[in-house]
Structure 1
Amino acid sequence: MANCCSNGSCSVTPATLSANKTDKISQKGPITRAVISFVLLIGGITMSATNISFFENQWVRLVWYLIAYFPVGIPVLKEAWEAMKEKDIFNEFTLMSIATIGAFFIGEYPEGVAVMLFYSIGELFQQAAVNRAKRNIGALLDVRPEKASVIRDNGIETVLSEEVSVGETVEVKVGERVPLDGIMLTDSGSFNTSALTGESVPRNIKKEEEVLAGMIATDSVCRIKVTRPFGQSALARILELVQNATERKAPAEQFIRKFARIYTPVVTMLAVLIVVLPWMWSLIDPEFMYLFNDWLYRGLVFLVISCPCALVISIPLGYFGGIGAASRQGILFKGGNYLDAITRINTVVLDKTGTVTKGVFEVQDIIPEEGFSKEELLHAVAIVETQSNHPIAKAIVSSVPKERIPFAQPVNVKEVAGQGLEAELDGKKILAGNMKLLETNGIAYPPEVADIPETTVLCAVDGKYAGYIVVADELKEDAKVAVEELRKAGIKDIVMLSGDKQAIVSKLAGELGIDRAYGDLLPEGKVQRFEELSINPGNKVSFVGDGINDAPVLAMSDVGIAMGGLGSDVAIETADVVIQTDQPVKIPMAIRIGKATRQIVIQNITMAFGVKLIVLILGAGGLATLWEAVFADVGVSLLAILNAIRIMRKKF
């Protein structure tokens, strides 16, 4: 049984691929029992319709239909008993048990069998839908090879991926998937990263750059030094993220769970009242003809159609489908609650570097002060910047050939947040950073430097200004399209925050059509600007950043979105949504997926309540039979399930 709404709750969780095999096996028994019951039910109805003489005996009919009932009825009766022992009396198993036993009591044997049979068939369809969703997610994400080719003393050995140790070297042939995360040892290679990022464009990875499990080598044999064990790869963390996503319930799911706990006992009492109140009225009005079997039948119809299965299975399945659809696009939602929350966002705050720009800086110019040469200025800044992981620092270091960087190491290195670095090199105090760093240390610099629109790294040696280096970044190709699509998605206010110069930020904002842009911000400045936006209760704000330097703002936002978070522990821990690629166009796509999911959930709620209400009224009035009730209940459940899984195939 799918156990779709026991105690008003529903659990839809992704499983591993091995568990999917168990799911298939577990379906065989219920299917066999349903077939046996169906054949006996049809046989009994046929014999009644053709007036077979021996079947006219009431005891023969009772035994026949009991035999038809037991294969599908006993599992449900058992579930009802187990639930009652746990003091969970009002659940769908109890409703079906009471309804079918009541049908047998009044002699409606075929209908009693039909109620349980079609309820069981509905459960089978529900379980099949859940299993299919599990397999889709598993096939989408768990693409890690079970075996790896490891280079050891005896040559290349093929072993299980779990047995490969950190530090060992694996070889990946063309067309094979990378089994574990590692560092590229081969000079370069092209990899298909679609399994991790949703992007089909190959990615070129150079020597000493990171390669992740699940990537496919496309042009050459590569050797990779393993840096993480099998169970701790970036893909393993993504799998865990998706597996845990359904534990964070959306408000609609939480409401339905609470509602079902109240709804089920209420409808049970209403069914009792449908039987009892007419009897009480007959005691007052002798002319009112009360037939117990007729009113009991109406109460049973009421019970069957009131089962909340369609709601409590289709709504979580809808959110799970949305999480799966987003994962297919390289967008990871950490829970159904964030799928719901992103639909209410009306303000988006974008970090500049790494979000709308490529974050790949290049040295454009070197302007030394009198008394310093270009080489001296570049070398001094590059040596100090080796102590930083900032993209600008990396750009300056990479502009100097390794063999030309002196072996001398800076000492007493101090990073000043939002300003730059202080260090000692060969007994001299070196400052490398922005204008604020020099101003803080009381060092004068040419005023025209402030008018340069590009990013500048200023340097001072022993308290004397030494010059500056111009570093430039580029806009991402899809940044302008992303802003346009955010507008179409209903985002009224788009803001850019950056630690870069105001001139640079304003220029980029103008190119992108962004409303407001604030530059020259330290980390606490970003927090302050963000608080100014979020203090308005009408603003539902999402911050989009790289998930590393922007953790405080990501944590404060209604929906924090980490860009390019693949392999970043901070991004996965802090953000609510992780976009595995560096494409800002995925931000409006995430909003569209959230809205599509919410629309499907609302459709299911409306459909289930609408149909059930109509048939409940008809049943209470004696205008609907048990046959119609069970077909309506199962039919609504199946329609809701099909509608829920539809999002998995929807294009965004």
Structure 2
Amino acid sequence: MEHQHIYDKEGHRLCCTEEEKVYKDAGAEELLDGSKKNNAHEHAHDEDGHNHDIPDHSVFQMFIPSGVSLLLLLIAIGLDYWIPQQWFTGSARFMWYVIAFIIVGYPVLKDAVKSIIAGEVFSEFLLMSIATIGAFAIGEYPEGVAVMLFYSVGEVFQTMAISRAKSNIKTLLDQRPDEVTIIDNQQPKIIKAENVEVGQIIQLKPGEKLGLDGELLSAQATFNTAALTGESKPDTKNKGETVLAGMINLNKVAQIKVTTAYTDSKLSKILQLVQDATSQKAPTELFIRKFAKIYTPIVVFLAIGICLIPYFFLANYIFTDWLYRALIFLVISCPCALVISIPLGYFGGISAASRNGILFKGSNFLDLMASIQNVVMDKTGTMTEGVFKVQDVNFNAEFDKKEILKLVNAVESLSTHPVATAIHEYVGEVDSTLKIENTEEIPGLGLKATVDGKEILVGNFKLMDQFNINYDTDPVSIIYTTIAVAFDEKFVGYITIADRIKEDSQQTINLLHKLNIKVTMLSGDKSTVVKYVADQLGIDHAFGDLLPEDKVNKVKEMKATSQTVAFVGDGVNDAPVVALSDVGIAMGGLGSDATIETADIIIQDDKPSKIPMAINIGKQTKKIVWQNITLAFVVKGVVLILGAGGLATMWEAVFADVGVALLAILNAVRIQKMKF
């Protein structure tokens, strides 16, 4: 069985010679389109195009050519040195070694020809072909077979490593069932998930995965959301709440009204996000790509020089000796270890993060997270739960408290801010008889509207100042979040609202400090509330009463001191800061399409403790990548010098190439097993 590879219409090979091609091969693209590829570097597919991990018997088959070649090589070496036979000489001996070579060498020779036709002359296949054919030309048959044999084994291990990466990402992300059960004329009917229309009712049995986003119609249902959030704890949803594709129903039959088309579900967007992540390279990957293209032709010409130049300087020049040294040089110089293991390492980092409910939009953000010096975060919804409760209502006696609350509730019903939800829960249903007009949201301040020709203001005290509303309250003296209200140009009073700190917020700050990372909180909430939360958690710096432009200026100040800054927020209201920061991190990516579009990293379960986890994954990924770079350069450098000086044989060359590549690949896949 040969090592097949994929070529595009122009004949370019789609893996192994360029690291970005390997990255794509190891990526999630085929998980999205279900394409069928008959390829040793691909998963097997069933008739429906489903992707599966390579089965045990296929792994065995992949090793058959190498095993047969190894057996023939060992027999030949035995006949050469241990049990000499008269018939094993001359052309018989030569043909024996040729057969052992062709079994593993033919795919490589074929790839070398295809690469040359495609315009990629200086490929790893050409290096291996020249080196092994050269070894045969000078009579070093065993070494020629051995080089190609071990290279073939390396290709198989590479295939297995890439297959494992693809299997991990598929298990993680490809959670949508192909078929769903809908209720049609009061009867269950199974249809393709992609054919389900918005508004249809899905019936979901216990243990089944939901195929599309929707609204729960049943009174209550419990779901396993681990595939989406990395959170193993079951999540109970109530009637009217949103449920998402990929969630698994746990306890009883549930009915869901489809609200989003199959291709527009949150899971579809996440799948697209991971696919796009493979196109955004880390600087290290881009460097290796450029380096390999320059490095390979240089070593080819150096090998030619090693073979021919000594002729002009040495009196006892022996062509076969210097050709042997040049061949060793070529084998050692093959850049497999770098070209394969580095993108595999970054993909492993993205896979490990995704498994923990953290989505990176590119490997470049893994590198950036590894060097973060200051984490800047919003307060509401990031370090606090964002679930507000009304604590008290302080209105002046001249106003009818119930009537004003009805107006406030009606105005706030036009907002999606958590404060609006708290007021709605406190007041109740919106009075539909009220005629609210000219509603305007003033960024960072609040809302303005008119009721029966009279103006109502609902927001913070800065909103009161902007419209010259006089008030006799000292905002600084109030600890809680405060909603000031003015009606008909008169100050009505204020509503106090409190938010709870998330359970893992304290752990988050402690872990960030252990990583020697400064933590800064920037919030539009009032300074007393921000200071209270910051003091509770031990945050280094905290600033409240900030408008969006104030947050931008604060981040600019930090970046002016050459700090690498990550901003954590909702990715929508703080879009300017997210764009300005080195890394934008969004909390609750499953709750907002805009969040997925805006941020560089998405934490799917709203847990701030995933921030230090993301930093650790970035650090571990970068560490593994540089371990591989150092290993490859040091070993290859030493053996290259020894080979040029005639002190290394082809066996050392095999280790410097295939051995280092295998070690680098095994090191790269380690990150997929790590616990963070």
* TM-score bracket for the superposition, by shorter chain length: over 0.9
The aligned counterpart of 2:86 is 53
SS in structure 2 opposite 1:332? strand
Moved more, 151-160 or 355-364: 151-160
Query: Which residue is 1:600 aligned to?
Result: 624
Name the SS for the 1:354 alignment partner.
coil
Q: Which residue of 1 aligns with 2:424?
A: 397
2:44 to 15, 21, 29: 21
Residues of 2 paired with 1:5 and 1:582: CA distance? 38
Q: Distance in 2 between matches of 1:98 and 1:362?
A: 75
CA contact (8 A) 1:8 1:261 kept: no
Aligned equivalent of 2:155: 123
Aligned residues: 643
The answer for the alignment partner of 2:243 in structure 1 is: 211
Aligned to 1:270: 302
The answer on 1:508 being equivalent to 2:540 is: no
Relative to structure 2, which stretch is displaced further, 133-142 or 24-33? Answer: 24-33
**Counterpart among 550, 563, 569 of residue 587 in structure 2:** 563
Q: Aligned pair in 2 of structure 1 residues 398, 7: CA closer, same or farther (>3 Å)? A: closer
Distance across 1 between alignment mates of 2:18 and 2:506:
49
2:9 alignment counterpart: none
Among 490, 493, 516, which residue is 2:516 paired with?
A: 490
Within a 5 Å distance, the mapping from 1:29-44 to structure 2 comes to 31-44=63-76
Q: Secondary structure of 1:40's partner? A: helix
In the other structure, the counterpart of 2:22 is 11
- 1:509 maps to a residue whose letter is A
Alignment of 1:539-550 (within 5 A): 539-550=563-574
Query: For residues 113 and 466 of structure 2, what CA distance do their matches in structure 1 show?
Result: 75
Give the counterpart of 2:550 among 525, 528, 551: 525
Secondary structure of the corresponding residue to residue 54 of structure 1: coil
Post-superposition shift, 1:33? Answer: 3.3
Once the two structures are TM-superposed, the CA of residue 352 in structure 1 deviates from its matched residue by 0.7
Does 1:407 pair with 2:433? yes
CA distance in 1, matches of 2:194, 2:20: 36
What is the TM-score with the length of structure 1 in the denominator? 0.95
For the pair 1:69 / 2:101, whether they are aligned, the reply is yes
C-alpha RMSD of the superposition: 1.9
Contact preservation (8 Å) 1:103, 1:109: yes
The question of whether the paired residues in 2 share the 8 Å contact of 1:618 and 1:624 is answered with yes
Amino acid at match of 2:540: D
Counterpart for residue 610 of structure 2: 586
In 2, Cα distance between the equivalents of 1:610 and 1:180? Answer: 51
Deviations, residues 102-137 of structure 1 (Å, cap 9, x unaligned): 011111122212211211211111111011100111
How far apart, in 2, do the equivalents of 1:294 and 1:385 lie?
86
Asked whether the 8 Å contact 1:149–1:172 carries over to 2, the reply is yes
Cα pair 2:20 2:343 within 8 Å, conserved: no
Query: 1:400 deviation in Å?
Result: 2.3
Counterpart code for 1:420: G
Q: Aligned partners of 1:212, 1:384: CA distance in 2, in Å? A: 30
Give, in whole Å, the separation in 1 of the partners of 2:352 and 2:269. 18
- Do 2:388 and 2:419's aligned partners in 1 also have CA atoms closer than 8 Å? yes
How far apart are 1:449 and its partner, in Å?
Answer: 4.4
- 1:159-558 correspondence runs (5 A): 159-282=191-314, 286=315, 289-402=316-429, 405-491=431-517, 493-536=518-561, 538-558=562-582
Compute the displacement of 1:294 (Å): 1.3
1:153 and 2:163 correspond: no
Determine if contact 2:389/2:498 at 8 Å carries over to the other structure: yes
Structure 1 residue 567, shift from structure 2 partner: 4.1
8 Å CA contact 1:377–1:467 kept in 2: the answer is: no
- The C-alpha deviation readout for 1:64-94, integer Å capped at 9, x for no partner, is 2222222322221221122222332211011
Amino acid at match of 1:327: S
Alignment partner of 1:138 is 2:161:
no
Deviation at 1:562, TM superposition (A): 0.7
SS at match of 2:260: coil
Distance in 1 (alpha carbons) for counterparts of 2:424 and 2:418: 10
Q: Report the residue type matching 1:6 in the other structure.
A: T
The aligned residue for residue 630 of structure 1 is 654
- SS state of the match for residue 220, structure 1? coil
Residues 234-282 of structure 1 show CA distances to partners (whole Å, capped at 9, x for unaligned) of 1111122112212111111111111111211121122112211221113
1:421 CA displacement: 1.2
Q: TM-score, normalised by structure 2?
A: 0.92
Deviation at 1:398, TM superposition (A): 2.1
* AA at the equivalent of 2:235: R
What is the letter of the counterpart of residue 639 of structure 2?
A: V
Query: How far does residue 185 in structure 1 lie from its aligned partner after superposition?
Result: 1.3
Comparing 23-32 and 97-106, the one that deviates more: 23-32
Q: Distance in 1 between matches of 2:612 and 2:277?
A: 20
Deviates more, 1:578-587 or 1:445-454: 445-454
Q: Superposed, which structure 2 residues align to 1:635-646 within 5 Å?
A: 635-646=659-670
Q: Using the alignment, how far apart are the partners of 1:568 and 1:39 within structure 2?
A: 59
Secondary structure of 1:635's counterpart equals helix
Query: C-alpha distance in 2, partners of 1:619/1:336?
Result: 36
Question: Match of 1:252, SS?
Answer: helix
AA matched with 2:164 = R
Is there any run of 5+ residues in structure 2 with no aligned partner, and where? Answer: 6-12, 37-42, 46-52
Q: Distance in 2 between matches of 1:448 and 1:98?
A: 84
How far apart are residue 519 of structure 1 and its match? 0.9
Equivalent position amino acid for 2:675 in 1? K
Give the partner amino acid of 1:350: M
One-letter amino acid of the counterpart of residue 476, structure 1: K
Q: Give distance in 2, aligned partners of 1:370 and 1:576.
A: 50
Is the CA contact 1:355–1:582 (under 8 Å) kept in the aligned structure 2?
yes
Asked if the contact 1:367/1:469 (under 8 Å) is kept, the reply is yes
Q: Residues 628-649 of structure 1: CA distance to partner in whole angstroms, max 9, x if unpaired?
A: 3213321111111111101111
Between the aligned partners of 2:242 and 2:598, the Cα distance in structure 1 is: 22
Q: Which residue does the alignment assign to 2:596?
A: 572
Moved more, 311-320 or 3-12: 3-12
Contact (CA 8 Å) 1:459, 1:467: kept in 2 or not? yes
Measured in 2, the distance between the counterparts of 1:614 and 1:468 equals 75
Q: Give the counterpart letter for 1:428 in structure 2.
A: K
**Secondary structure of residue in 1 paired with 2:127:** helix
Q: Identity of aligned pairs, percent?
A: 53
CA-to-partner distance for each residue in 1:552-599, whole Å, 9 max, x for gaps? 111111111111112422221111111111111111111111101111
Distance 1:141 1:60 in 2: 55
Secondary structure at the aligned position of 2:456 is classed as strand
Matched AA of 1:490: N
Q: Whole-Å Cα distance in 2 between the matches of residues 529 and 355 of structure 1? A: 18
Distance 1:644 1:8, change over 3 A: closer
SS, match of residue 88 in structure 2: helix
Query: What CA distance in whole angstroms lies between the structure 1 residues aligned with 2:185 and 2:620?
Result: 55
Distance 1:235 1:632, change over 3 A: same
1: distance between equivalents of 2:647 and 2:443?
75
Identify unmatched segments of 5+ residues in structure 1.
Answer: none
Name the CA shift for 1:434/1:326 in 2 (closer, same or farther; >3 Å).
same
In structure 2, distance between residues paired with 1:305 and 1:265 = 14
Q: Distance in 2 between matches of 1:272 and 1:30?
A: 35
Report the 3-state secondary structure (helix = DSSP H, G, I; strand = E; otherwise coil) of the residue aligned with 2:563.
Answer: coil
- Return the alpha-carbon distance in structure 2 between the equivalents of residues 149 and 482 of structure 1: 42
Tell which deviates more after alignment, 211-220 or 380-389.
Answer: 211-220
Q: Which amino acid aligns with 1:106?
A: I
Contact 2:222 2:236 in 1 (8 A): yes
Query: How far does residue 340 in structure 1 lie from its aligned partner after superposition?
Result: 0.5
Deviation at 1:389, TM superposition (A): 0.8
- 1:531 is matched by which residue type in structure 2? K
